[in-house]
């Protein structure tokens, strides 16, 4: 009997969906599942609901709940992580403080100030988890759902040698949209995608060998299509490729769409994940209030539902049965994308079978796509280094490299904002031990101040010489 451990299993929506998928997979029913959560009541609530499905189906599956992570992990075969440190209270700081400084985001959970601080809170806990896996079940495969995906996966890769991948839903959901945009069934589209999490690119879109990009790009020129995809559509129109995540996500990753009112009014005027200001935080508050006051599982039938589009159960099925399955996974680069750093996290096609995970070598991305990815990889690398070291100056550096933040704020403003966020979230950041960034005051230059007499740059000397000549004529 295979052993599956879900860490952070108190999440009602995520855990019940994944567990339904597992029970809906015949090859996975003869398993032992352990739900781990610091809030044992939440875990037991999910457990009780899943037991209804198990009993109704007469399945041999065993399920239990615990707060003891190490006990649960001993000899596990598969580990699924889905934790969120700080909850809505921390997310409020992630959103509201940058907003006061003039940074407007739609999601802001995986990049920018909010993404960096979510990484600072999360990475030390994830490192503890992977160290436990390495000690207690070193051959287990880890499926990570924890955001910020790229930074968390980089930290896992830096601090362990366990077999893991990070999973997202961008490709599956975007293919549903593309299917409508090109009027081709989703199951008939042959695609190849690669890049980084929340900014991977459909490098190939075909049906029966015919390129679907001409149809997609032509339709994006039409108002009724473009209005749905103002940000992804504009990037595709300018650079030739469609992105695998929502327009709202992409707008946070680039400097062109949210930096001022003109850009916001032009590109970010559609609701929800099409670009709406503060959508993710508003949604998080709504879900927290909704599921914190009403037991929605009581209203569920307890009947087994059809499997969702989520990759998890398909990956586990392939590992157990040996049958191949292809998915889009986040892994350490190691040359899979040759024009991105080897020590970053990339999202590429991955094949899985009974022998484990097999990422696909992509080669070079088109130059503009790699450049857009790299602008965020730099932030991610610094953010991971900050989280692992507890160095507040590296937090400043990471946020200073964020494309959107740097298009809006000065370095002094970034330092002030980051210091405020560090102070506000100190209880979630024990790695920093209360350390704060250096104070770097603004230098005031009195009127009439002359610069120190130093040798001039040759080009400047020539310019000065000709300037004086012009003055004398």
Catalytic residue IDs: 169, 253
Alpha-carbon distances of 142 from 77, 79, 325, 341, 360, rounded to whole Å: 9, 5, 16, 23, 18
Residue environment code for 35-46, b if the CB has 16+ CB neighbours within 10 A, otherwise e? bbbeebebbbbb
d(CA 389, CA 349): 32
Measured over all CA atoms, what is the biggest interatomic distance in the chain, rounded to whole angstroms? 99
| DSSP code of residue 308 | -
Full DSSP string of 159-217:
H---EEEE--SHHHHHHHHHHHHHT--GGG-EEEEEEETTEEEEEEEEETTEE-HHHHH
Q: Report the distance separating Cα 340 and Cα 334, nearest Å.
A: 10
Q: Residue 341 class from Cβ within 10 Å (0-12 exposed, 13-18 middle, 19+ buried)?
A: middle
Beta bridge partners of 211: 206
Distance from C-alpha of 180 to C-alpha of 347, rounded to nearest angstrom: 24
67 alpha-carbon distance from chain centroid: 26
CA distance 100 to 95: 9
Q: Is the peptide bond before 148 cis (omega within 30 degrees of 0)?
A: yes
The DSSP symbol for 435 reads -
Taking 3-state DSSP, the helix, strand and coil percentages for the chain, each rounded to the nearest 5, stand at: 50, 15, 35
Q: What is the CA radius of gyration of the chain?
A: 25
Rounded to an integer, what is the distance from CA 317 to the centroid of its chain? 25
Phi, psi for residue 306 in degrees, rounded to 5 = -65, 155
Parallel, antiparallel, or unpaired: how do β-strands 325-332 and 210-211 relate?
A: unpaired
How far apart are alpha carbons 314 and 28 in whole angstroms? 10
What's the rounded Cα separation, in Å, for the pair 111 and 139? 31
DSSP letter at 297?
Answer: G
Distance from C-alpha of 243 to C-alpha of 421, rounded to nearest angstrom: 31
Helices 279-293 + 87-100 axis angle, to 10: 150
């Amino acid at each position: 009997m295979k052993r599956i451990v879900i860490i952070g299993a108190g999440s009602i929506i995520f855990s019940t969906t994944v567990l339904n998928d597992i029970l809906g997979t015949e090859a996975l029913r003869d398993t032992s599942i352990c739900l781990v959560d610091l809030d044992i009541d939440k875990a037991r609530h999910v457990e009780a609901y899943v037991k209804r499905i198990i009993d109704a189906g007469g399945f041999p599956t065993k399920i239990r709940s615990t707060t003891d992570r190490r006990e649960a992990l001993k000899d596990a075969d598969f580990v699924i992580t889905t934790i969120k440190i700080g909850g809505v209270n921390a997310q409020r700081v992630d959103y509201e403080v940058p907003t006061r400084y003039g940074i407007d985001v739609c999601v802001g959970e995986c990049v920018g100030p909010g993404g960096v601080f979510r990484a600072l809170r999360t990475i030390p806990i994830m490192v503890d988890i992977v160290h436990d896996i390495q000690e207690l079940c070193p051959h287990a495969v880890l499926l990570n759902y924890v955001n910020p995906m790229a930074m968390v996966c980089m930290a896992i890769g830096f601090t362990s040698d366990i077999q893991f991948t990070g999973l997202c839903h961008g490709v599956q959901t975007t293919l549903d949209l593309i299917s409508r945009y090109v009027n081709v069934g989703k199951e008939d589209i042959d695609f190849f995608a690669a890049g980084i999490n929340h900014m991977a690119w459909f490098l190939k879109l075909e049906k029966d060998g015919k390129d679907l990009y001409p149809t997609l790009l032509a339709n994006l020129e039409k108002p009724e299509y473009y209005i749905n995809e103002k940000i992804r559509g504009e990037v595709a129109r300018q650079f030739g490729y469609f992105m695998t995540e929502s327009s709202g996500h992409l707008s946070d990753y680039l400097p062109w769409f949210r930096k001022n009112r003109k850009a916001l009014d032009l590109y970010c005027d559609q609701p929800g994940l099409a670009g709406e200001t503060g959508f993710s935080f508003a949604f998080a508050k709504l879900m927290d209030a909704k599921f914190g006051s009403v037991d929605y599982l009581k209203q569920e039938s307890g009947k087994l539902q059809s499997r969702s589009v989520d990759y998890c159960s398909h990956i586990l099925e392939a590992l157990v049965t040996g049958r191949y399955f292809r998915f889009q996974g986040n892994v350490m680069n190691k040359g899979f994308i040759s024009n991105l750093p080897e020590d970053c996290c990339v999202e590429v096609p991955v094949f899985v079978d009974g022998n484990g995970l097999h990422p696909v070598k992509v080669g070079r991305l088109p130059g503009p796509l790699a450049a857009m990815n790299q602008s965020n990889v730099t932030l991610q690398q610094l953010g991971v280094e900050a989280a692992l070291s507890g160095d507040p100056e590296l937090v400043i550096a990471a946020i200073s490299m964020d494309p959107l933040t740097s298009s809006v704020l000065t370095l002094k403003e970034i330092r002030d904002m980051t210091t405020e966020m560090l102070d506000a979230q100190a209880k979630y950041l024990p790695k920093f031990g209360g350390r704060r960034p250096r104070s770097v005051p603004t230098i005031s230059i009195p009127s009439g101040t002359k610069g120190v007499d130093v040798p001039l740059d040759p080009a400047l000397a020539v310019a000065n010489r000709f300037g004086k000549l012009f003055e004398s004529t």
